[in-house]
Amino acid sequence: MSARINPNVVYLPTRAIQSAARRFSTPFFIYEESRIRANCERFRNTFRRYFPNFTPLFAVKANTNPALLRLIFSEGFGADASSEAEAWITRRLGATGMYTGNYTTEAEFRFVLKTGHFRFNLDDISMLPTLRKIGVPKFLSFRVNPGISQGGMKSLFLAGPDAKFGVPARDVVKAYRQAQALGVRRFGIHAMTGSNVLDERYFAAVADKLLAIAGEVKKATGIDFECLNVGGGFGVPYRPEQPCLNLDQVARGIRRIFDRQCVRYGLREPVLMAEPGRLIMADTGWLVGRVHVVKHSSKTFVGIDAGMNDLPRPAIYDAYHHVTVVGKPPHGRKEPVNVVGRLCENNDQFAKDRRLPVIAIGDLIAIHNAGAHAYAMGHNYNNRPRSTEVLITRSGALKKIRRAETIRDLFQTTP
Ligand SMILES: Cc1ncc(COP(=O)(O)O)c(C=O)c1O
């Protein structure tokens, strides 16, 4: 019996991609506005059913295109920013949010503070002296390392003993006590323990740990937390046979933990916050490249004009991305191929031994789930310019939302 195919993973706006390929040169990223809005709405509304004051932030690092950020902010999301540039663009678009840097420099703190648009979430107690120097805010949150972690792959585990992130358990009470002594009056608590988690129960486990830590801090310092941020990490299926994360179960699980543990630890219920990136954007975008070479060697290598510089996830995480030959019926004759890019790296391969409809030069290849941690993670290795980005608007129009870089762009910072 064949596994059930998840329509969400294999969905492709074929006609829009074909018409974009007639208007714009490949490679390009293409995003669908209606899916972005639907993801925002589903996330926000599901949590608000259980937490009326739920505050969603979007992890700007997942996709920083201003046109897309504008859409997401218009859906009631704030920003989770992690660098000066992310803080800058958030402010420019008139949004506010939380700033979670790690190993943050003094200059970075000053820059973000000056925007006036962010609440700070500190990654360690050792950053307090820097804050004292530049001006102690009224509100402060700490990213804690609650000692548990999960992720779509080992490199996406972001907490536990090997993680560089978060205040270690032994320092948490001390951190809040010192912040209190510095004059901070309002507090938050945050964790980001892993990415691409598809286990619904995990998020309640994180909330449970955070409430236990909040209870310990309250007992020692009297602090009542204004907000509790469970971070991002809400997974999406990358393989057609994987199911979607059941968000209702996630939110319900956290609600149950809040009901039990706020009473147990004598906490006033904090506002629940979360900061998804992948769940909002991954399945709303595709990277489209054209086939320029079909090489029959020990295997058949299909070379497209995109590369790991556009979408580094397969190269750096060995991540799976679904691939479609645009416009070719999926039920015809198939052959196993490796779909590869143009960079001088052997891990520049989007798909390995994948059975795809027979491919010819000139065909368009779409790589799915390219809306999050894709363009934003891209780079210029081999001096490959970054690609165009296109939006399919709600009315079906195609709008260029970023031009491709030129060779001149690559050298404009050199004398
Ligand atoms: C602090 C923080 N918050 C949120 C996110 C978003 O994670 P995801 O895209 O898995 O939801 C990340 C991603 O690395 C992160 O580091």
Instruction: For the chain, count helices (H), then strands (E).
Output: 13, 17
Which secondary-structure segment (H or E) carries 99? strand 97-99
Mean pLDDT of all residues in 378-382 = 97
Residue 387: predicted pLDDT? 98
The mean pLDDT of the chain is 96
- For ligand 1, pick from 63, 82, 121, 236 the residue to mutate: most ligand atoms within 8 Å of CB: 82
Query: What are the start and end residues of each CATH 3.20.20.10 domain in the chain?
Result: 33-278
Locate tokens 């416009």: which residue?
Answer: 327
What does the pLDDT look like over 49-99, one tens digit per residue? 999 999 999 999 999 999 999 999 999 999 999 999 999 999 999 999 999
- Identified catalytic residue from 40, 227, 262, 344: 344
Identity of the residue numbered 52: P
For residues 343 and 383, the answer to whether their CB atoms sit within 8 Å is: no
Residue 150: predicted pLDDT? 82
At 8, give phi and psi (nearest 5°). -65, -30
Nearest-angstrom CA–CA distance, 61 and 216: 32
CATH architecture of 33-278: Alpha-Beta Barrel (3.20)
Nearest-angstrom CA–CA distance, 269 and 179: 21
DSSP annotation string for 237-286: --STTSPPP-HHHHHHHHHHHHHHHHHHTTPPPPEEEE--SHHHHGGGEE
The fraction of the chain above a pLDDT of 90, given in percent, is 93
**DSSP β-bridge partners for residue 323:** 367
**Radius of gyration of the chain from Cα atoms?**
22
Query: What are the start and end residues of each CATH 2.40.37.10 domain in the chain?
Result: 7-30+282-411
d(CA 195, ligand 1 centre) in Å: 6
Residue 1: predicted pLDDT? 44
What does the pLDDT look like over 291-314, one tens digit per residue? 999 999 999 999 999 999 999 999
d(CA 229, ligand 1 centre) in Å: 12
Is 159 a pocket residue for ligand 1 (Cβ < 6 Å)?
A: no
CATH architecture of 7-30+282-411: Beta Barrel (2.40)
What does the pLDDT look like over 195-244, one tens digit per residue? 999 999 999 999 999 999 999 999 999 999 999 999 999 999 999 999 99
Please confirm, yes or no, whether 344 is among the known catalytic residues. Answer: yes
In ligand 1, the atom with minimum distance to the C-alpha of 234 is 11
Say if residue 104's pLDDT is above 70. yes
- pTM for the complete prediction? 0.97
Mean pLDDT of all residues in 158-169 = 85
- 181 burial level (CB within 10 Å; 0-12, 13-18, 19+): exposed
d(CA 166, ligand 1 centre) in Å: 13
Mean pLDDT of all residues in 144-173 = 84
Residue 154: predicted pLDDT? 75
Residue 2: predicted pLDDT? 56
d(CA 297, ligand 1 centre) in Å: 40
Residue 161: predicted pLDDT? 80
Say if residue 396's pLDDT is above 80. yes
Q: Tell me the residue ranges of DSSP E strands in 136-278.
A: 139-143, 186-190, 227-229, 271-274
Question: Could you report how far apart the first and last alpha carbons of the chain are, in Å?
Answer: 63
In ligand 1, the atom with minimum distance to the C-alpha of 232 is 11
Nearest-angstrom CA–CA distance, 89 and 80: 12
The set of residues, in sequence order, having a beta carbon less than 8 Å from that of 66 and lying 6+ positions away, is 89, 92, 93, 401
Please report which residue ranges of 30-127 form alpha helices under DSSP H.
Answer: 33-50, 66-74, 84-92, 106-115
Identity of the residue numbered 29: F
The lowest-confidence range among 162-166, 286-290, 299-303, 409-413 is: 162-166
- For ligand 1, pick from 63, 195, 197 the residue to mutate: most ligand atoms within 8 Å of CB: 195
Is 233 a pocket residue for ligand 1 (Cβ < 6 Å)?
A: yes
